[in-house]
Structure 1
């Protein structure tokens, strides 16, 4: 594009997938809060908030100025990171007691969700990369935020809405699984981890629904609570199983080169940690807290690695290209 800076051109190509960076940063902040590391959690929250504002600005500029390009990007699974990132940020706000801001983010995510979900699902095919599971992640992100606010505001209708979204998210996961290409586990660039991350956020939603019940709301009867308890634990077990498979695949076939989709690896790692910590508290299985904390620090390490890779990629994108660099690029491409 004539007159476009290298940085803006680089950002325009990566903005949809970069929503996973906000999701990853936000959920690491949530996990650190659950583990009691409040100061570090708020540092991550500041970073997540700043990144969300940048993405929101890019979203609006594209929507208002380049409607056709916006429709193209909105039809990709990665577009649903806008919903998930907004919901994750809102969940952290709710944990801080910022209910007005959290409610505003819930309303925004709820408006975006059906539009982006329909546009994305219309383009599903076989086989699909791991980003196909973002339909589940976005749905369960709304369930997590709604359930969190329901507990904070003693709003039963929010809890029941969250319950509907919870079950819908599980159904969507099953549909997405039929479209997922199994070879992505070995060949994926990073977003294949969302296959496990979608189960993690589903388990987190279940734990928030259990935690929302209490004397003030009295949401679930004994049978309902028992089903939620069992399904939430089953989702966490399935998520941890996926985690083991995906981690093993990374060891067997390392993919060390930075890719923006690596933020979609960090997010499931952080979400698994947060879900483990939250389930431990909600269902009273205290021994889950220590593996949850181990998983949390693994997610923090992965976040730092992805941040270093992103910074290096951005620097390379905006660095002036000398004749020597251009010649090296031509040599690396080889004969056509």
Structure 2
């Protein structure tokens, strides 16, 4: 029997080239409660790749969700079965990535045109694990010029289209839906434009929760402030935030109230934790840049932000640079 749904008011969205294990460790230096996601990983990469490199993570990163992309039930089953030896809290299927490269390979958002196929993929994933299996998708897609054959001129962008998609998926026992409140335009817009150009339609996400209340619905897209989070939580079960956390990670300190606590960690304390992490990387022969590149936003909106970015962008930056920056912060308050 599948475990109970992983319920968490706030999650950090999966972001390609962003939410790797180093960034996730950085998040945990600030907030230990939000639900973390891996980057989207293809089923084929899991089946054929270096597992510890692709799937490995530190225990401190829990709670954490593995997000996969798959084109067929067989690969999805194999990938999830392989991932069973890693302590992920949940497995998520990506049906929302609008990248032409992904959609062109029949993964990501393009699969919204094939709800029955998605249902079979999810059914296979559920057969491979007792963990929660969830889905992340858009409210719809414009598949013109990229979907094959009879679907090449189709647009699935009405509320009725999304509800039909959800109804088919829930029949195989999926209860957790993470919904990005924009359609995905599969041809003509790049991934960045797909996060900005299609209008946000939060009301449709609210409506699906209202009409099918037994679903666990998490909303995603354009959410930047605690006030916005509070408003969304009046209508849905949870909120997912992406770029805002990456660009301004100290916003994570404002989320303690959702876990019945107050987060009072300072930038000085975070840098002290960073030093320990980077020293460990140096001992293991891992380039500190792989971690430091994710910390640009630590002084977002603060005096010294440019100085901080310039210092950690140095390819040779390591624990010694962090120690000097911490010393300046403590003694001279220059950053």
Considering the TM-score relative to the shorter chain, is it more than 0.5? Answer: no
Structure number with the bigger relative contact order (C-alpha 8 A, sep ≥ 6) is 1
Higher normalized helix content (fraction of residues):
1
Q: TM-score, normalised by structure 2?
A: 0.31
Q: TM-score, normalised by structure 1?
A: 0.31
Higher normalized strand content (fraction of residues):
2
